[in-house]
Amino acid sequence: MLKMGFFLGRPLKWFQMAQDIAAKNSPTCCKCEDQQMQIGYIPTKHSSGVWQPLQWFRAKAEGILGVRTFNKEFIFLVSFRCPKCGYIESYAPDLDK
């Protein structure tokens, strides 16, 4: 699990690692019965104005003017979309395993 802070390193590298892990276990659509899903991601705009993939934080949401993320552990979310019906599932693959 990664820790949010000023010196994350290279977030894109960590996200690509998460996508690689998730792609090895690409799911099939639970709605369309055995339709292979396509890997992708859902971007969000960081407070610095930079677009980045969504993240899951291991913490309760706290803060008054937004959610505090500094020094919190997180995992990048990897999403899969069914090309037939459009159903989307997101996963948080653990990079430590």
Tokens of 55: 């993240």
pLDDT digits (tens, 9 = 90+) for 31-47: 998 899 999 888 888 77
Q: Assign 3-state DSSP to the chain and report helix, strand, coil percentages, each to 5.
A: 15, 30, 60
Instruction: Give the start-to-end residue ranges of the domains of the chain.
Output: 2-63+70-91
**CA angle 12-61-8, nearest 5°?**
25
Whether the full predicted model's pTM is greater than 0.85, yes or no, is no
Q: Report residue 88's pLDDT band, with 50, 70 and 90 as the boundaries.
A: very high
Which residue would you say has higher pLDDT here, 47 or 53?
53
Q: Examine the pLDDT at 8 and tell me if it is beyond 70.
A: no
CB contact at 8 A, 58 and 72: yes
